[in-house]
Amino acid sequence: MNKKLGRGQISLSWLNKYSCILFRSPYTSILIDPVDIDPSIFDKLDAILITQDAFDHLDESLISEIQSKTNCIIIADTISSNKLSQIPEEKIKIAHAKDEFQIDECRIYVERSATSLISPLTYIIVSEEGTSVYHTSDSGPFEEMKIIGEKYKIDVCFCAVGFTSKVNPKTGFEIVKLIKPKVALPYHGVKLKEFVNLVSKKIPNVKAKVLKIGEEMIYP
């Protein structure tokens, strides 16, 4: 996760079997949903984004340790924010759907998430040069995703493919149909190849690939 990035490039790494993603641009590092990872690997971090308060998205003690080490900003949904009592208040930003945040030269756009929790969110990160990444947490597809795809012209979309009865490769595929990203990456599950095969067969103009846990992808 230390590859040098050129202008316009971003780095994406999937760090656990759930939805923990590390986003890097030449100037900014953003971690999303850190759970079951080694906090010692982070020397520099500008922000942590939390999508929901479920156990596979929120680890309060881990976030506190990483934040203390890096002095990063925390952007989190309402319920998760209330659980982060160990974080200095000035370092927490409570997020709601349709909010926007500036992290260095990157923009963070907040959208809703289709899960059964109280305040779940999804995030679009737009880099300094305009590359857009959509982190859909473990959301199922919802019709507004079509508008999100059209508005932000998503380059890379992470799609959940498992672990709940309402999330599977087919629901991930439905997200791709709505978003129409250039690249679709399965995560939050184990049926990664099933998702890739489905997208490759039915939407061949979208590049679907498996990003292994710990692997770093440079885009474009």
Predicted local distance difference test score (pLDDT) of residue 1: 59
Give the global pTM. Answer: 0.97
Which of the 8 DSSP states describes residue 65? H
State the 10-residue block means of pLDDT for the chain, 220 residues long: 86 98 96 97 96 97 97 98 96 98 97 94 97 97 97 98 91 98 98 98 97 97
Residue from 215, 203, 214 nearest 179 by CA: 203
Are β-strands 132-135 and 156-160 bridged in parallel, bridged antiparallel, or unpaired?
parallel
Residues whose CB falls within 8 Å of the CB of residue 201, separated by 6 or more in sequence, listed in order: none
Tell which CATH classification among 3.60.15.10, 1.10.3720.10, 1.10.1370.30, 1.20.140.10 matches the domain 10-211.
Answer: 3.60.15.10
Domain ranges within the chain, ordered by starting residue:
10-211
Q: Is 180 helix (H, G, I), strand (E, B) or coil?
A: coil
Q: Scan for tokens 């909010």, then name that residue.
A: 99
Predicted local distance difference test score (pLDDT) of residue 142: 97
Longest C-alpha distance within the chain, in Å? 48
Predicted local distance difference test score (pLDDT) of residue 184: 98
Are β-strands 21-24 and 29-32 bridged in parallel, bridged antiparallel, or unpaired?
antiparallel
Predicted local distance difference test score (pLDDT) of residue 116: 86
